[in-house]
């Protein structure tokens, strides 16, 4: 019996016959040169007469394929995505069948349209070479959306011509949480083009994230007037939710936001864009004359309503440019103020009506969190939230993920579960655990790191220790800084009023 991740829709074993495989050569197809090379590199077999034959079948959906093994291997698909996914399945068959394939017919296609991976390149910068490795890992798992979190309190990671300081100043943090060395980096426009082209070669779309109006301290460090009470604020160098956010009461802020979006639209051609919206403390807005004037002008009841107005405005701008916008559902108490065409990356079971969403459950798919919080079993057992679900996404925040080694250890084997749920519709520990040994060997074969079983499903006290280690983030320290800054701003605001 074949073990495959993600599980295909249907496998038919046609006979007990084993089909010897001595060479590999691809017939005419619609795949990119990179995808073909990737497959041939993996197989590492002699070439010759084409023995993998591609048949165009327009009755199949864009990502569906039929794979038949016989004297030749026949792949039916309507285009490149189906062909690519057939080859990814075939890689796993070749790997476990050692020179002989079983005679099968596999009919396959995804349950969900979106299967994503989010990389937070804001906290730690991941160079293009790492992003390409992540794209390789995604392709192997039939994922099709790379969500790049590009703007953060701790770093601005993408070149914007109109605002050169964003990268000159905003891309560098003086230190990281517990490591007193500066850290930084950014993608040039050429880098972004390279990333987007590489992703497209593997049928992966790129959704950039411009996280606003919160998480904007790197931008504010460059252009102080973007915040309500302008002063010399550096790029954040420590974890935590920051109280200085964009001032949405000023026209100049809106111009900045639209200018940056224009630059994003130019660099990122795919239809999706993420506009953040998470973790926006309202302390500054409540005291800001600009924000309060705007709130009164719009007849809104409070600063929360002002944020929803802002998110809807930004969504409208994206929509006018042909883009589907998403925002985080994080801390959302009432989604009714959000227009129904603004999608969510949905972190919990909150009520979001019929708005479209991508399931990014904090209990299952926040793959940066220690396995003591989210075990592999939790990721496997997660049932997607009901409603207008477009798909699933593994979410790798990087405050404690400084490099690919750690990224792999946090992501795998959990991505196996996310891939299986996104592609097959369900995963489940019972069936996934049976494939786990095979999966580890397949990850090894691909040079991908992972957490071993005792780490991925930690027992007491290991689970508690992993959480404690993570919690060394010193929230108390961060909280104290915020309280002191809040007092300072309250004084300034009071003085201005007098």
The contact set with ligand ACM (CB under 6 A) reads 278-279, 328, 330
Selection from ligand ACM, Zn ion, none that 330 binds (CB < 5 to 8 A by kind) is ligand ACM
CA-to-CA dists, residue 31 to 28, 57, 484, angstroms: 9, 15, 57
CA distance 129 to 400: 20
Query: Minimum distance between the CB of residue 230 and Zn ion, rounded to whole angstroms?
Result: 10
Selection from ligand ACM, Zn ion, none that 291 binds (CB < 5 to 8 A by kind) is Zn ion
Does 213 contact Zn ion by CB under 5 A? no
Query: Minimum distance between the CB of residue 44 and Zn ion, rounded to whole angstroms?
Result: 59
Query: Minimum distance between the CB of residue 363 and ligand ACM, rounded to whole angstroms?
Result: 12
Segment 447-451 long-range contacts (CB within 8 Å, at least 24 positions apart):
448/137, 448/408, 448/412, 449/404, 449/405, 449/408, 449/409, 449/412, 450/408, 450/409, 450/411, 450/412, 450/413, 451/371, 451/376, 451/409, 451/410, 451/412, 451/413
Does 288 contact Zn ion by CB under 5 A? yes
Query: Minimum distance between the CB of residue 282 and ligand ACM, rounded to whole angstroms?
Result: 16
Looking at 249, 276, 277, 416, which residue binds Zn ion (CB under 5 A)?
Answer: 249
Indicate the residue among 21 and 228 with the shorter CB distance to Zn ion.
228
Looking at 228, 267, 364, 390, which residue binds Zn ion (CB under 5 A)?
Answer: 228
Selection from Zn ion, ligand ACM, none that 290 binds (CB < 5 to 8 A by kind) is Zn ion
CA-to-CA dists, residue 288 to 122, 301, 309, 400, 487, angstroms: 27, 15, 17, 34, 14
Selection from Zn ion, ligand ACM, none that 370 binds (CB < 5 to 8 A by kind) is none
Query: Minimum distance between the CB of residue 412 and Zn ion, rounded to whole angstroms?
Result: 43
Site for Zn ion in 229-248 (CB under 5 A): 247
Query: Minimum distance between the CB of residue 147 and ligand ACM, rounded to whole angstroms?
Result: 11
Selection from ligand ACM, Zn ion, none that 249 binds (CB < 5 to 8 A by kind) is Zn ion
Indicate the residue among 49 and 251 with the shorter CB distance to Zn ion.
251
Which of 82, 110, 81, 90 has the alpha carbon at shortest distance from 19? Answer: 90
Selection from Zn ion, ligand ACM, none that 62 binds (CB < 5 to 8 A by kind) is none
Which of 63, 69, 74, 167 has the alpha carbon at shortest distance from 125? Answer: 167
Query: Minimum distance between the CB of residue 291 and Zn ion, rounded to whole angstroms?
Result: 3
Selection from Zn ion, ligand ACM, none that 247 binds (CB < 5 to 8 A by kind) is Zn ion
Indicate the residue among 123 and 137 with the shorter CB distance to ligand ACM.
123
Segment 37-40 long-range contacts (CB within 8 Å, at least 24 positions apart):
38/136, 38/139, 38/202, 39/87, 39/90, 39/91
CA-to-CA dists, residue 83 to 48, 209, 327, angstroms: 20, 29, 32
Which range of residues in 146-154, 268-276, 282-290, 333-341 is near Zn ion by CB under 5 A?
282-290
Query: Minimum distance between the CB of residue 247 and Zn ion, rounded to whole angstroms?
Result: 3
Selection from Zn ion, ligand ACM, none that 170 binds (CB < 5 to 8 A by kind) is none
CB neighbourhood size of 354 (10 A): 8
Indicate the residue among 60 and 220 with the shorter CB distance to Zn ion.
220
Structure tokens at 377: 């079993």
Indicate the residue among 5 and 347 with the shorter CB distance to ligand ACM.
347
Query: Minimum distance between the CB of residue 250 and Zn ion, rounded to whole angstroms?
Result: 7
CA distance 487 to 253: 24
Looking at 291, 415, 418, 427, which residue binds Zn ion (CB under 5 A)?
Answer: 291
Segment 83-90 long-range contacts (CB within 8 Å, at least 24 positions apart):
83/29, 83/30, 83/31, 83/54, 84/31, 84/35, 84/139, 84/202, 84/203, 85/142, 87/31, 87/35, 87/39, 87/52, 88/139, 88/140, 88/141, 88/142, 89/4, 89/8, 89/65, 90/39, 90/52
CA distance 257 to 278: 16
Map tokens 């009841």 to a residue: 301
Query: Minimum distance between the CB of residue 328 and ligand ACM, rounded to whole angstroms?
Result: 4
Indicate the residue among 67 and 288 with the shorter CB distance to Zn ion.
288
- Beta-bridge partners for 106: 11, 67
Structure tokens at 201: 């070669």
Indicate the residue among 203 and 275 with the shorter CB distance to ligand ACM.
275
Indicate the residue among 208 and 249 with the shorter CB distance to Zn ion.
249
Query: Minimum distance between the CB of residue 308 and ligand ACM, rounded to whole angstroms?
Result: 17
426: left (phi over 0), alpha (psi -120 to 50) or beta: beta
Closest residue to ligand ACM, judged by C-beta, is 278
Which range of residues in 229-237, 286-294, 353-361, 419-427 is near Zn ion by CB under 5 A?
286-294
Indicate the residue among 134 and 369 with the shorter CB distance to ligand ACM.
369
Indicate the residue among 42 and 117 with the shorter CB distance to ligand ACM.
117
Please give the residue ranges that form the binding site for Zn ion (CB under 5 A).
228, 247, 249, 288, 290-291
């Amino acid at each position: 019996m074949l073990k495959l991740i993600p599980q295909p829709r249907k496998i038919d074993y046609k006979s007990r016959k084993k089909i010897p495989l001595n060479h590999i050569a691809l017939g005419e197809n619609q795949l990119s040169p990179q995808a073909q090379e990737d497959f041939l590199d993996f197989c590492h077999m002699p070439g010759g007469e084409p023995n993998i034959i591609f048949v165009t079948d327009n009755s199949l959906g864009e990502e569906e394929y039929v794979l038949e093994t016989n004297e030749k291997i026949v792949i039916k698909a309507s285009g490149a995505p189906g062909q690519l996914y057939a080859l990814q399945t075939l890689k796993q068959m070749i790997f476990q069948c050692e020179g002989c394939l079983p005679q099968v017919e596999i009919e396959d296609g995804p349950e969900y349209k979106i299967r994503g991976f989010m990389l937070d390149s804001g906290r730690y910068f991941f160079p293009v070479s790492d992003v390409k490795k992540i794209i390789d890992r995604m392709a192997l798992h039939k994922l099709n959306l790379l969500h790049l979190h590009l703007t953060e309190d701790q770093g601005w990671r993408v070149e914007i011509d109109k605002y050169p300081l964003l990268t000159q100043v905003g891309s560098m943090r003086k230190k990281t949480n517990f490591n007193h060395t500066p850290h930084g980096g950014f993608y040039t426009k050429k880098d972004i083009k390279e990333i987007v082209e590489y992703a497209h070669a593997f049928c992966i779309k790129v959704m950039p994230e411009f996280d606003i109006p919160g998480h904007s301290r790197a931008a504010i460090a460059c252009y102080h007037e973007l915040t309500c009470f302008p002063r010399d604020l550096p790029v954040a160098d420590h974890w935590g939710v920051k109280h200085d956010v964009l001032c949405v009461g000023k026209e100049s802020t809106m111009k900045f936001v639209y200018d940056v979006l224009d630059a994003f639209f130019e660099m990122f051609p795919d239809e999706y864009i993420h506009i953040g919206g998470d973790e926006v403390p309202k302390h500054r807005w409540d005291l800001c004359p600009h924000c309060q004037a705007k709130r009164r002008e719009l007849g809104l009841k409070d600063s929360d309503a002002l944020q929803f107005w802002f998110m809807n405005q930004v969504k409208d701008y994206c929509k006018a440019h042909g883009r589907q916008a998403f925002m985080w559902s994080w801390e959302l108490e009432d989604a009714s103020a959000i227009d129904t065409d603004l999608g969510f990356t949905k972190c919990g079971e909150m009520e979001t009506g019929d708005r479209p969403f991508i399931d990014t459950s904090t209990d299952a798919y926040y793959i940066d969190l220690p396995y003591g919080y989210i075990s592999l079993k939790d990721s496997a057992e997660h049932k997607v939230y009901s409603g207008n679900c477009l798909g699933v996404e593994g979410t790798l925040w990087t405050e404690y993920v400084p490099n690919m080694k750690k990224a792999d250890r946090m992501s795998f084997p959990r991505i196996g579960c996310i891939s299986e749920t996104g592609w097959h519709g369900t995963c489940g520990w019972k069936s996934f655990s049976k494939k786990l040994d095979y999966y580890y060997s397949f990850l090894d074969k691909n040079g991908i790191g992972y957490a071993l079983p005792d780490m991925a499903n930690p027992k007491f006290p290991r689970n508690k220790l992993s959480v404690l280690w993570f919690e060394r983030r010193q929230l108390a320290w961060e909280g104290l800084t915020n309280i002191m800054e809040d007092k300072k701003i309250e004084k300034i605001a009071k003085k201005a009023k007098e």
